[in-house]
Amino acid sequence: MRQEKMTLSLFLMGTLLAGLVALAAQMCLNEAFSLGADPRLLITAAVAGGLGATALMCTRRMWPSLAAAAGVAAVALWQAGTVASSFLGILRAVSELFAACYSFVPVLGTAGGNPAWVLMLLALPLAWVTAWVVCREGSVAAVFLVSAPVLLLCLMIVDVAPVFWLVLLTAVLLLLLLTQSVRTNSSREGGRLSWWLVLPTVILVAAITVLWPPADYVRADWSDTLQTLAEAKLSLQRLGTTILYRGPGWNSSLKTVDLSVVGPRAQTGRAVLSYSASTKLDYLRGVSLGVYENNTWSAIPQSDYTAQSFAIQPQLSLGLNGDREQYLQVTTYASLPVLYTAYGLSEIPDFGQAVDDAYLANRENRREYQISYNVVRGDAGDALDAYDAFVYEHYLQIPKELQEPLEEILDAAGLRAASAAEAIAAWVRELGTYDLNTPAVPAGEDFVLYFLTQSQRGYCVHFASATVLLMRALGIPARYVTGYAVSGAAGESQLVTEDNAHAWVEYYVSGVGWVPVDPTPAEALTATEPEKEEEVQATTEPEEETPPQEEPAPSEEPDTPETPGEAEGMSGSQTHDSSSKEQPDLRWLWLLTLPGAAGLIWLRRVLVLRSRLERCRRGNPNRRALTLWRWLCHLSKANGVPLDESLYALAEKARFSQHTLTEEELQLLQKARNQRIEVLRTRPWRIQLWDRYGRVLY
Amino acid sequence: MVKNWFAYLLGLGGTVVFHIYYFGWYSWFLLVLALVLPWFSLIISLMSMLRTRLKLEAPPAVSCGEAAYVTVTAFSGFLPQSHLRFRLTVTAAMSGKKTVLRQRVQNQGSYYVPLDTGHCGSYLCRVEKPRVYDYLGLFWIPVRRSEAVNTLVRPVPQAPAKLPNLSQFLLRRLKPKPGGGFSEEHELRDYRPGDNLRDIHWKLSVKTDRLIVREAQEPVRGLTLLTFDLRGDEETVDSTLSQLVWLSQWLCDHDTPHQILWLDPADCHLAGAAVETPEALEQLIDRLLETPLREDTPSLEGRSFPRATWRCHVVPGEEVKP
């Protein structure tokens, strides 16, 4: 490793890159897991780390770096308690998020502690390695290796991946890669080149981000097709997961849904569970949420629910007195905290526990369970009287600022006269356009109002939330429900993936209970295409056949209000307008324009020059002379020096005379050509480029 | 370059696999970046690549065995230069032997390639196939070739193992200058009938009471010939030329103009050069060093030159035969 003297340019570049890598890594973790560390502290640590690390590279020995490391370790030990609590706090935040997505991940650590401590300590080795790579002619692989764990952690859960910081880290790695060949020989030259390449790298990265914005990203069909083909060869679960639409696991508490982060839906294809029911089902119910505040759905407060005692469990109201008991067998791929049930439960299973009027908890962490339900619903009679009061007290809540706008919408739509839940659901269904690419609600806007009055685009979350609030405005108790929309023949094992996650509405009918209704448009529902079936089959266990996801039949319960007869799969990539799918993505053209044009210019030069030289070398001498003369004319125009009369005479002779030019005469023309070309070669490179590739071609 | 393309394709394959199995936006970003990367690298490297120039410098003449270097200077203006590759060919004019050195430079600056001066000859150094690569090493464009440079490796004068008889050149032999006239050298003798009266040294004649004539003298100039065979392997030629140079220089130092004869390998005809001064000898040696040799060139050793008053045939590594 040849070490060169540190120049100011190299020092500044080393500081900049080391600081950026450290900052990007810190902020990735801070934002991905919402650690809450003060960004100013992190920036200070990154800058200080960059400066210090680069300063350590000014010396040629290792002992200053070792001494600095020892000093940092001593400080960390001195503040061991603070660092430990910081570490445990970070561990807690990270493991909570992972536990929400992977049930085999335990929640570790303890809440509390200032995460900035550990993040600042993390910044130092990253800054040192980057400074070493920049100033001591190291390889970019070293920076990639030290930042890989941070990258991996942040990428695992797709929704939380902090795009800006990831892009920044990638840009730094790109810059180091481009300068690698120069830097390995001379760090000074590498630093100088890095300064030159900062702007082009920023432009490139920004261009890609602008042309394909993260917020609007939808996975292309060919990507899914490739994955299907790849998984047929190598069955590998998709990397990464999402915390959204994974059943009730909207976040780690199970009882809240933050609608402000609901944006374009990504198709994951991850299998969640498989089930087999003795009747055809439309929904596997998960969690219901009754409180809407600040763009967030949350469950009824626990204290309110547990303070009540009801004659019957509300969850059983639909299945009361049913005479045809059916069975639902569910097998989950991981232990889920919630039991997924069909409507019309005949009993609360022993291994389940009703929680906060929201869901049935999987008390024993079972992965296989059987639930009995009734298809034909009986009348609950007076059993629900006490629950009625509870429902009317808690499930008519609307935020104060939304009451008036919702009233106006109802009046304008003439929905007061209808006064029926189905009418409201139908109206919302007609109003909105189904679009899985719907971006997140703009900051400051209410999710439901924005959907009803401005965008009128969305998917099940939007339609369900709007319908619930409109029903409540009309005095109909309603709540927001999540689970899976399913279909498939009775008696057969069906596979359910994350893409089947769905949201719909339950409205309360006194004496009956909670009745489901789905306000999501019917045209959003998709018949399963063969490839989707294959894709689903590729992800299932071998013994489980995955039938096509057909449009489910309407519910068989006569009193059950009509639900949209088609289950909505979140395999909604096929629900895009076919016209939008067929439109070619022209953005590629922008990136290919410049190299394409350069390639064409080069090709033209090669072809024209080759043919011209061929015509000068072979064939009739007079024709050769004329080709040379034409070439000389171009060369003369280029350098502005007129041609000799003798050459003109030769050209005339070649053109008009019946004599054939001799070899000596041709050589005169060739010599003149070569001389002119030599003169042009002495010109500045910019003009030469234009001459060689544009004007003259030589 | 193949290695770089392999690494790039491996990376591209990795991003494709990552994109297949990872459904987030970041995988798409990486895929687009990987696809665009070669072109981007080419575009940002283009200015430096187009400005890259190579210049060759070498000493015009050195002595055999003396250290000599071919200086290759690469520059590309204000931008750091990317990877540059070229072939440096050194062609020996006499033997026709061609040495190819593959060179690779990473930065601007001068690079010194040692020249083999173990044998005398004329060595033409040329840069062939100069290519400059982009910063990722994936694309290349040719660099404008620099002029070839020629280095003469001159023989070091070496005295033959057994010197020929050079005693006649040690003393200047004089003879009467025909027709008299001015001369720096004069001899005094008695008057002979027919001598010019103006040549009489009257002063001396009065003193000696005899007629003394001052006769102009001139050096005895016979045909001094050096012959040699321009043939054989490199050691033979080195030995021949070094002895030839020594002998010729000795003769020049002793005011003995001479002729050097050899058989030209090109047509096996007798070639010769008159050498009166060291400069003429140097010119002759330079000319000889650029002569391509032939194995079947006959020898001059057995040939006689009756008109020569003194003749030496230089035989390499053996006793010189007068």
Reading the block at residue A6, the tokens are: 């540190």
**Confidence band, pLDDT 50/70/90 cuts, at residue B29:** very high
β-sheet with B270-275: strand ranges across: B270-275, B258-263, B224-228, B310-314
Tell me if chain A has a CB within 8 Å of the CB of B26. yes
Decide which of A697 and B208 is more confident. Answer: B208
H or E segment to which residue A622 belongs: helix A621-639
Residue A194's pLDDT band, with cuts at 50, 70 and 90, is very high
When pLDDT is averaged across residues A165-180 and rounded to a whole number, the result is 93
CATH 2.60.40.2030 for domain B1-154, yes or no, is yes
Long-range contacts: A678-683, Cβ < 8 Å, 24+? Answer: A679/A639, A679/A641, A680/A635, A680/A638, A680/A639, A681/B144, A683/A639
Compute the residue count for chain B.
322
What confidence tier does A265 reach under pLDDT thresholds 50, 70, 90? confident
Which candidate from A167, A186, A223 shows the least CB-CB separation from B29?
Answer: A167
Task: Place A481 in a pLDDT band, splitting at 50, 70 and 90.
Answer: very high
Distant-in-sequence, close-in-space partners of A106: CB < 8 Å, separation ≥ 6 = A95, A99
CA distance to A352, B37, B89, B143, B146, per residue, from B130 (Å): 78, 24, 12, 5, 9
β-pair type (A271-277, A494-497): antiparallel
Query: How far apart are the CA of A186 and the nearest CA of chain B, in angstroms?
Result: 8
Helices A400-413, A460-473: axis angle to 10 degrees equals 90
* Spans of all domains in chain A: 8-212, 256-576, 597-695
pLDDT mean over A673-697: 85
Among B28, B30, B135, whose Cβ lies nearest the Cβ of A217?
B28
Note whether B78 contacts A: Cβ–Cβ < 8 A: no
In chain A, residues with a C-beta closer than 8 Å to the C-beta of B83 are 181
CB contact under 8 Å between A238 and B24, yes or no, is no
pLDDT for B219-253, tens place per residue?
Answer: 766 788 888 888 888 888 889 999 999 989 888 88
Interface contact A209, partner B, CB < 8 A: yes
pLDDT(A458) > 70: yes
Using CA of residue B230, residue B235, residue B241, residue B247, what is the dihedral sign? negative
Q: Which residue has the higher pLDDT, A103 or A507?
A: A507
Count of CB contacts below 8 A, A vs B?
115
Average per-residue pLDDT in chain B?
Answer: 85
Q: What is the pLDDT of residue A309?
A: 58
| pLDDT of A473 | 92
Give dist(CA A615, CA A506) in Å, integer: 84
> From CA A432, how far away is CA A436, in angstroms rounded?
12
pLDDT band at B211 (very low <50, low <70, confident <90, very high): confident
* Average of per-residue pLDDT across B264-269: 86
Confidence of residue A359 (pLDDT cuts 50, 70, 90): confident
Reported as a pLDDT band with limits 50, 70 and 90, residue A266 is low
ipTM: 0.70
**Edge-to-edge strand order for the sheet containing B185-190?**
B174-176, B212-219, B185-190
Across the interface, of A204, A212, A239, the residue whose CB is closest to B21 is: A239
Q: What is the pLDDT of residues A213-225, one digit of tens each?
A: 887 777 777 777 7
Q: Report the Cα A451 to chain-centroid distance in Å.
A: 22
Tokens encoding A332: 């989950």
Residues A240, A213 contacting (CB under 8 angstroms): no
Q: What is the pLDDT of residue A687?
A: 83
Per-residue pLDDT tens for A397-416? 899 999 999 999 988 888 88
CB atoms within 10 A of CB A515: 23
In chain B, which among 35-54 make CB contacts under 8 A with chain A?
36-37, 39-44, 50-51
Report whether pLDDT(A509) > 80: yes
Look at A155 and B22 and tell me if their CB atoms are within 8 Å: yes
Q: Which of B31, B271, B251, B127 is nearest to A208 (CA)?
A: B31
Mean pLDDT of chain A: 79
Asked whether the beta carbons of residue B25 and residue A184 sit closer than 8 angstroms, the reply is no
Query: Which of A10, A154, A168, A189 is the best residue to mutate to test the B interface, defined by the most B CB atoms within 10 Å of its own CB?
Result: A189
pLDDT of residue B105 exceeding 70: yes
Beta carbons of A68 and A52 less than 8 angstroms apart: yes
Looking at chain B from residue 135 to 194, which residues have their Cβ under 8 Å from any Cβ of chain A? Answer: 135-137, 144
* pLDDT tens digits for range A587-641: 656 666 677 777 888 888 888 888 888 888 888 888 889 989 989 998 888 888 8
pLDDT score of A316:
62
Higher pLDDT, B77 or A685: A685
**Which residue of chain A is at minimal alpha-carbon distance from B79?**
A193
Pairwise CB contact (< 8 Å): B51 & A685: yes
**Taking a C-beta distance cutoff of 8 angstroms, is the pair B108, B74 a contact?**
yes
What is the pTM for the complete model shown? Answer: 0.57
Q: How many CA atoms lie within 13 A of B106 on its CB side?
A: 14
Q: Give the pLDDT confidence of A107-149 residue by residue, as tens digits.
A: 888 888 888 999 999 999 999 999 999 998 888 999 999 999 9
Residue A423 has pLDDT above 70, yes or no: yes
Contact status of A608 with chain B (Cβ, < 8 Å): no
The closest CB to that of A185, out of B39, B79, B106, belongs to B106
Chain B: residue whose CA lies nearest to A222: B20
Question: Does A266 contact chain B (CB < 8 Å)?
Answer: yes
B10 touches A: beta carbon within 8 Å: no
Q: Which CA distances in Å does B165 have to A272, A312, B247? A: 111, 140, 11
CA distance A421 to A464: 12
